[in-house]
Structure 1
Amino acid sequence: MNSNLNFATACRETLPTIFGYIGIAATFGIIGRTLGFTFWQVLLTSALVYAGSAQLTALNMIAAGNPVLSVVIATFLVNSRIILMSTTIASYFQKDSLSKNICLGSFLTDESFALGMNKINYTHGRLSFQWLNTTNILSYLTWVGATAVGAGIGTAVKNPQKFGLDFAIVAMFLGLLYLQVISDQQLNRFLQICVIGGTMVLTYLSLIVLPANLVIIGVTIWGCTLGVWLKHVL
């Protein structure tokens, strides 16, 4: 990464992350077809919902015959973490118009958010609409395109999980986490490791006591609280 916030830089810096989208979106497309949905139903889910794990939750609930209201509420809860991410990102675009902020928030993902948080370590805390919007749109087009490929293959792949494509997202986030740790010059390295370790413990405990669709939002809130407390203590 560097300090440039133009279109070309955004394309180059987004390239490593979109490879993770290819594997997981193609897997979603295949799973959608094996659940009995048509090519267009699966493709439109990615194009209109564009919510990763929430899409899988929605299709599984619909296939199981759950009421529409239940599907909507579950999808909202699974994806509610984007509210927190959008709130954080919005502070860097206070001088931009409302329409630009809505555009950024609508296409924001976990990956583009993490990429943006890494980017500010190289730009003295600055982000530009052009840079983040390019990252968002490239991610969106990759996700929809890979879904189309997976849905096109359809039921030809009987067990998509055996290829391990879903691990691509995990590997990508591990890479982004590593970059965040080594590039952040403002926070003490020991503090960062403590927060990462604490977040892992919180995730494990939350999986025991919370419904699966509330784990991410719960750990996000508790993890941020833990980070602020440790920062003052250390």
Structure 2
Amino acid sequence: MTVAGTIVTLGGGGFSMSDDGRSSIDDLLLDLSGRETPKLCFIPTASGDSVDYCRRFEAAFEGRAETSVLSLFGNSVYDYSDPRTLLEHDVIYVGGGSTANLLAIWRLHGVPEMLQRAAAAGAILAGISAGMNCWFEASSTDSFGSLAPLDDGLAFLPGSACPHHHDEPGRQALYRDWVASGALPAGHGADDYTAIVWRDGEIVEAVGERSGRRVVRVERDAEHEIPVRRLPAVRGT
């Protein structure tokens, strides 16, 4: 079920992996919205709605976007949010954490349907790590402790995903083996500080905010490197 619309999948990077919270990939997300001050919603489900993570998000986009947080846990800082509010946003940004927990909780609250409708209406969907994995049919995840294949994604995008591809021990080799054995369908590995921009289920381009970072297409019997366009310096620096 490939979904119409634009999705940006970050292997790593963005505000959550920047010392000062600024990122050229995040600049690109705002640009893709086509709005001067886009409405930007952060979904921190995979981290259990970490308050620190949410506050880092708000600080990173302060003055550049109208930010909000979709909380499905509800806590002393962020009240529970109705997933239907996703339809009011220009960009929806999914944080990292546990892919398996994210998917289970989203389904209980009806989030996938709202995300599909938001994308069809023109919202940019994006996410890092677990927020990359969730959009695909399947993925490489450490949701259960050790790295393992997970055949349970939303299938908004075809195939499988492996974030942090060359950056975390075991990721590349295990992902290659799982695709070769058929445990995971063919798919894409993305390094930290890279992202893949998709439109209507097809790759538009791969981008990076640091040199030497890679994005690859992994198939059963081959691996193909995808050219990565180096993004301009972070705005405001």
Q: Same fold (TM over 0.5)?
A: no
Could you say which structure has the higher strand fraction?
Answer: 2
> TM-score scaled by structure 2?
0.24
> TM-score scaled by structure 1?
0.24
Compare CA radii of gyration and give the structure with the larger one.
Answer: 1
